[in-house]
Every structure is written in C-alpha cells, then in structure tokens.
Amino acid sequence: MAMTMYDLTGAEDARRFSPYCWRTKMALAHKGLAVETIPWRFTETDRLPAGKKTVPTLIDGDTVIGDSWEIADYLDRMYPGKPLLHGRSERGLAKFLTAWTESVVHPALTRLVVLDIYKHVAEKDRAYFRASREARVGTTLEAFTADTEANVAAFQKTVHPLRITLRSQDYLGGDAPSYGDYIVFGAFMWARSISPVQLLAADDPIAAWRSRLLAAFDGLAGKAAGYPV
C-alpha cells in the first residue's frame, strides 16, 4: 500500500507550497517510494493524525511520522535502499544545511514571498496566516515585503555560498543529488509555487542546479503548479 502524506496547499488543491513537504516528496522519489498526497490547509490541524500540528505528516501503515527530518530518518530505517542520511558526516552536513536553510535562506525568502503566500492561501486560512506571520515579522506583510528589488538583491547575496559550491559541482551531493540538495531546493520550490518574483539571473549556477532538480524524477517538481522561473 502506498504511503500517504498531508501536504500544504493554497486555495487550489494543486498549489503545494511547503518547503518542508517538498523535501519529503523529493526524498520519497529519491528512494523510488510511492506516496499519495492529501491537500491540507493551515486551519485544518484537526485533520492531522496522532495530534500532529505541522506538515509534512506521513502515514505508513500504522505508523504516523511528523517532521521532515524524522521522516527522512524513518524512511532510511524502513527502506534502506538509496539512503538519505547514511554515514555520520553526511548526516552532520545535512544538519548544517537544515540549519542554514531555516535560519538564513527561509528568512531572506520570507521577505519576498510572504505576501504572495497570503494571496494564495484559502479564504478560511487568511486571518490565521496574516495574524501569525505579522506577529512573527513584527509589521504588516505589506510593509515587510515592500522593497522587492532590495529584497531580491539581499536574497542573492545570502545564497552566495550555494552559488560558489555549484560553480564546480552539479549538486551539493557532488555528481548526484543528496538529501542536502532537497533541503535547500525545498526553499526554491516554496518560492516557485507561490510567487512570480524572479530570484536568480538566468546564468546563475544556482538556476542551473534548480533546473536539474525541477527535471529530476520525471519532472516531479517541475510539473507541479507554480510560476515560471
């Protein structure tokens, strides 16, 4: 039986925009595991099994796992082929990429996409989304995102370490994608799913890496609803 996964969406069922859910979907595809995704919206916490509060939440038979890192670990334990987090050093580096993505890349992207997210979420999610995110950023979504040009420039500077790395190798994993690639790529899928803002110049090595991952697994990510990049 295929696994099922609760997957964040906007007003339309097809607009799957969670960076964490994208990590997990790429990880499942990496292992060749089938998953049926269930569209889930911010105010539907009661629908999540086992008291989970965030997505991705994965259900595999009788097992319910929340948190993308826990899910990657679980998948490696239960389905050891094509490991995601094998070896202490790979695991350690994936931890660093998680921390960098969540504490540096996501905040820089939030400046660019948070108002677009608000515009795409279901009507019933809007009040919750605005109130929770404005409390987080300390101002209105409009004020926080006002200067797109400056915010794109700041984002491009933020991801410079990624750019330097990808000048000399195709993936963070070297010549093939690793779970670390999916962690960072999830952030780019977050933006692509929800926002028309062009984050990267066409000749940026990061754009070439993003294209490779959009095409991976028969275009799993590239075929998903989103804006052209």
Ligand X SMILES: N[C@@H](CCC(=O)N[C@@H](CS)C(=O)NCC(=O)O)C(=O)O
CB 5 within 8 A of CB 37: yes
Shortest Cβ contact with ligand X: which residue?
Answer: 54
Min. distance of Cβ 68 from ligand X in angstroms?
4
Q: Binders of ligand X: how many residues, by CB under 6 A? A: 11
Nearer to ligand X, 24 or 151 (CB): 24
**193 interacts with ligand X by CB under 6 A:** no
Which member of 3, 5, 7, 8 binds ligand X (CB under 6 A)?
A: 8
Instruction: Give the span between the Cα atoms of 199 and 171, in whole angstroms.
Output: 19
Peptide bond into 177 cis (omega under 30): no
Min. distance of Cβ 44 from ligand X in angstroms?
10
Task: Report 11-50 residues binding ligand X (CB under 6 A).
Answer: 18-20, 42
Min. distance of Cβ 42 from ligand X in angstroms?
5
Min. distance of Cβ 130 from ligand X in angstroms?
12
H-type alpha helices, the chain = 19-30, 68-78, 88-100, 106-120, 126-137, 141-144, 148-158, 160-167, 179-194, 205-219
Instruction: Give the span between the Cα atoms of 99 and 80, in whole angstroms.
Output: 25
Residues forming the site for ligand X (CB under 6 A): 8, 18-20, 42, 54-56, 67-69
